[in-house]
Structure 1
Amino acid sequence: MASRFVISILFCSMIITASAQFKNTKNLPFTWKTDTLQHSVNLSEIQIVLPKGSFKSLDYPTFVGRSEGLQQFFAKEPVIVIEIGGLAKAYPLNILTIHEIANDTLSSVPILVTYCPLCNSGIVFNRVLKYQGKKRILEFEPSGMLRNSDMVMLDRTTETLWQQLTGTAIVGTYDSAQLDILPSLIISVSEFFTRYPNGKILSKKTGFAQAEKMYGHNPYTNYDTKTTPLQQFFKSDKVDKRLPAMERIVDIEYRGDYKIYPYKSVAKKGVINDTFNTKKVVLFYKPGTVSILDKNDITNSKEVGTVTVFNAVINNKALVFKAKKGAFIDDETHSKWDITGYCYEGPFKGKQLQIEPHGNHFAFAWLAFHPESEIYVEK
């Protein structure tokens, strides 16, 4: 009995200490069971914004096909797309604005689809964690916390805290563990069904009645028209001055180094052929896709377009591309490719460029976590 009492006192003491170290301006009760003695970041960098459980993740949700999907969703709204084993799924970013996380499977692979609207950061991870020689399948939910304005996730097994933008565990049992990023694309609904006519899109019938009323509307009205992020989550004096804070960028990683490409640079050229650390990559831009962080009714939102990133090598040959009349054409064979990296006409017809793992973000958020990144400069 005495030993249990001592353990209880120590546990309560740990919670009180952790609560004091986190930034908790609302004085919310600390109900997380995270092992805060293990951490690789300063706990004061983490801000408690909402009580645990405030965001309802989507767990193994329902999907619909092309016909119903085109009726449910605006053709130009963005979706995060993942294809594994010939099967493709699309997750509308507007729905993820409300839920932020979807735990799902695709071709028997456990996947974690994430979107942080404050950072405009959409990334897909493998939910299988390889840790200390063992594999564990985890499920996640938003923790109610932020760091550098980016969502902090928690796994339901240990309530370890994970940084969404990097996929790294920052506090808890799995501290410093890393989730594997899965290649994905952010394209429009119409582009998804053009490329994947048999693909499935997340249904608006998620089972959350209040949330269902919000789909199609943006709770962060005019957010991406601002010049700085929300000050209560990211102070303007912390913004990296090399790029406008709310500039949209995509990132690539190779051999531990990072490079980012501003949307405006890709949009200006239509195609960027580049070499990064000896890797040949190509970026495509296509207009049409709208922002989901502009107007309240996303059908009235401004167009920001789509940027996708691929390995430019196919059949051991590095291709060079140009944009022409809505298509992407390689100089070598004059084959035509679409925004998803699929060749639909020419000698390479039926071939698919390998998607380069990348994310879409606001510049301020990416550079807060990776200030060492090389920034593409227009030539």
Structure 2
Amino acid sequence: MRLFYLFLIFIFISCTSNNDEIISNIEQEEFSIWIVDKNDIKGGGKTYDLSVNPKFGNVSDFEKLSDHEKVALISFNNEVRVYPYFFTNHFEVINDVFNNNNIAVSYCPLTKSGICFNREIDGNIYQILASGFLYKDNMVPADKDLKFYWSQMLMTYIGKENAGKSISNYNLIETNWKTVKEYFYDAKVYYHDKRTAGETDPQLSTTQDSQYIYGVIEEKINTRVELFSYNLFKNKTKLISKIINNKEVIIIGSEEKYFVTSYYKKDNLEFYLLDDSNFPNILSDNEGNIWNIFGYAISGNRKGEQLESPKTYVAQFWAWKDFYSNLKFN
């Protein structure tokens, strides 16, 4: 009998030792995948729901959305889609196919940053979700199989495959529901059945706040970011010209219509602001072309062309300070 008890004790010690070793190995693997400071990583252990095959309704279907509800606008070839953060916030990443473009619309409710990523990577199309991790309190998207992780605000892979490489994005214009109702009433609006318009979400702020800052990012990580407050665009739509990434960039914004967007100047074109009555067409040029808010020429000899956009998005000021050390206010 004594030998039997000794045998049980031996088995218990062995199993405990093996379990501790397994747990230790898991922890080491989880925290060895990052190329950033691991002290800045939080969360993990549970991914968000995967959002695929999104549904869309008409603008008139969502009368209960607040005028100040923030939304993302994305356009390809004259079609406009609206992604209200009220709906995107449940998943934080929405996988969509828009005009043959495989996109992932992400919104982080902590940093208040919305970005549209290209989820076709090196010839493969991935389904993207919010990983449950945070890097500097900003969401960390991942593919559904967790083969790679990236920082949303850095637009760079920070864990596992492709670590250190940047990820491409599409132009996203952030505005509010009031502007959508007045100017984009033919757009298609993303929604899902897990939330009903009119509810409140404590993670979302619907107040137009001066702490929401539009940033234009230099191509290299941790270099200069040009910051533009909505206060710069009071009273009427304004155009500001800056040299960024060694190119001339035009930044156009309106506090009233609650948007800021930017484009690289093209060829030898000179751009001029149109009167606000022409919105969402915002620019003319020395060749007589008319350009809309999404950078598309809607008339003239360049009709159908689109201006290239730098890497940009809106985020809370404290988040810009956390991610970038060289900030330049305009």
Relative to structure 1, the CA distance from residue 136 to residue 165 in structure 2 (aligned partners, 3 Å threshold; closer, same or farther) is same
Query: 2:149 matched to which residue of 1?
Result: 161
CA deviation string 1:113-139 (max 9, x = no partner)? 100111110001011222xxxx33222
Query: 1:249 matched to which residue of 2?
Result: 213
Question: How far 1:323 sits from its partner (Å)?
Answer: 6.4
Check the 8 A contact 1:77/1:188 in 2, yes or no. Answer: yes
Question: How far 1:101 sits from its partner (Å)?
Answer: 1.0
Aligned length in residues: 308
- In the alignment, is residue 359 of structure 1 matched against residue 313 of structure 2? yes
- In the alignment, is residue 218 of structure 1 matched against residue 229 of structure 2? no
CA deviation string 1:280-325 (max 9, x = no partner)? 2222222346xxxxxxxxxxxxxxx221222343x63132447667
Match of residue 242, structure 2, among 264, 274, 277: 274
Check the 8 A contact 2:42/2:135 in 1, yes or no. Answer: yes
Query: 1:239 matched to which residue of 2?
Result: none
- Distance across 2 between alignment mates of 1:102 and 1:149: 20
- Distance across 1 between alignment mates of 2:251 and 2:304: 17
- In the alignment, is residue 52 of structure 1 matched against residue 4 of structure 2? no
Relative to structure 1, the CA distance from residue 270 to residue 362 in structure 2 (aligned partners, 3 Å threshold; closer, same or farther) is same
Match of residue 25, structure 2, among 11, 14, 23: 14
SS of residue matched to 2:320: helix
Question: How far 1:252 sits from its partner (Å)?
Answer: 2.1
Relative to structure 1, the CA distance from residue 93 to residue 222 in structure 2 (aligned partners, 3 Å threshold; closer, same or farther) is closer
Query: 2:269 matched to which residue of 1?
Result: 317
Q: How does 1:1-379 map to 2 (within 5 A)?
A: 12-17=23-28, 36-48=31-43, 51-53=45-47, 55-68=48-61, 70-71=62-63, 73-130=65-122, 135-189=123-177, 191-192=179-180, 198-203=186-191, 206-208=192-194, 212-213=195-196, 216-220=199-203, 247-256=211-220, 258-268=224-234, 270-288=238-256, 305-313=258-266, 316-321=268-273, 328=282, 332=286, 339-341=293-295, 354=307, 356=309, 357-373=311-327, 375-377=328-330
* TM-score, with length taken from structure 1: 0.67
SS of residue matched to 1:13: helix
The letter for the 2-side match of 1:260 is E
SS of residue matched to 2:321: helix
Question: How far 1:349 sits from its partner (Å)?
Answer: 10
- Write 1 or 2 for the structure with the bigger share of strand: 2
**Structure 1 gap segments, 5+ residues each:** 19-33, 227-245, 290-304
Identity across matched positions, percent: 19
SS of residue matched to 2:88: helix
SS of residue matched to 2:89: helix
Check the 8 A contact 1:148/1:368 in 2, yes or no. Answer: yes
SS of residue matched to 1:280: strand
Check the 8 A contact 2:269/2:287 in 1, yes or no. Answer: no
- Distance across 2 between alignment mates of 1:103 and 1:126: 10
Root mean square deviation of aligned Cα: 3.7
The letter for the 1-side match of 2:202 is P
- Distance across 1 between alignment mates of 2:225 and 2:193: 40
Check the 8 A contact 2:213/2:314 in 1, yes or no. Answer: yes
The letter for the 1-side match of 2:25 is M
Question: How far 1:329 sits from its partner (Å)?
Answer: 5.8
Relative to structure 1, the CA distance from residue 215 to residue 150 in structure 2 (aligned partners, 3 Å threshold; closer, same or farther) is farther
- Distance across 2 between alignment mates of 1:110 and 1:11: 39
Query: 2:5 matched to which residue of 1?
Result: none
The letter for the 1-side match of 2:319 is A
Check the 8 A contact 2:231/2:255 in 1, yes or no. Answer: no
- Distance across 1 between alignment mates of 2:305 and 2:42: 42
Check the 8 A contact 2:66/2:198 in 1, yes or no. Answer: no
Larger Rg: 2
Check the 8 A contact 1:286/1:339 in 2, yes or no. Answer: no
- Distance across 2 between alignment mates of 1:329 and 1:351: 14
Check the 8 A contact 2:211/2:317 in 1, yes or no. Answer: yes
SS of residue matched to 1:17: helix
Question: How far 1:63 sits from its partner (Å)?
Answer: 0.7
